[in-house]
């Protein structure tokens, strides 16, 4: 019974080790691929102006006000289901 448990433990540990080794190899391979062909994948975030990603002041103020109201009175603010 103990021998079967040890055998199962060894098989399980080998399976996990093999999977993690394969995963590390695939990640290193994909890193090399994307480094080699980086010119074919343009970074679109660099072309956006910073202001477009932030949002306007009214939206930020609304979110802060809702969070503050929810913190002060838990359970009083509910979301409408659309």
Within-domain flag for 59 = yes
Residue 80 domain-assigned (yes or no): no
- Is residue 77 situated within a structural domain? no
81 found inside a domain: no
Tell me how far apart the alpha carbons of residues 82 and 79 are, in angstroms, rounded to a whole number: 9
Flag whether 42 is in a domain.
yes
For residue 31 the two structure tokens come to 């890193």
In a domain, residue 38? The reply is yes
For residue 6, what are the domain limits? 2-72
- Give the whole-angstrom CA distance, residue 30 versus residue 40: 14
Q: Is the pLDDT of residue 10 over 80?
A: yes
Q: Is the pLDDT score of 26 beyond 50?
A: yes
For residue 39, what are its two tokens?
């010119």
62 occurs within a structural domain? yes
pTM recorded for the entire structure: 0.46
Could you read off the pLDDT of 32-63 as tens digits, one per residue? 999 999 888 777 666 555 555 556 788 888 88
Q: How far is CA 68 from CA 57, 64, 72, in A?
A: 16, 6, 6
The number of folded domains in the chain is 1
């Amino acid at each position: 019974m103990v021998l079967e448990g040890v055998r199962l433990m060894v098989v399980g540990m080998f399976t996990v080790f093999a999977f993690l080794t394969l995963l590390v190899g695939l990640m290193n391979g994909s890193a090399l691929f994307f480094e080699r062909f980086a010119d074919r994948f343009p970074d679109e975030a660099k072309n956006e102006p910073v202001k477009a990603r932030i949002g306007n002041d009214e939206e930020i103020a609304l979110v802060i006000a809702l969070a503050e109201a929810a913190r002060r009175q838990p359970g009083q603010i509910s979301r409408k289901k659309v």
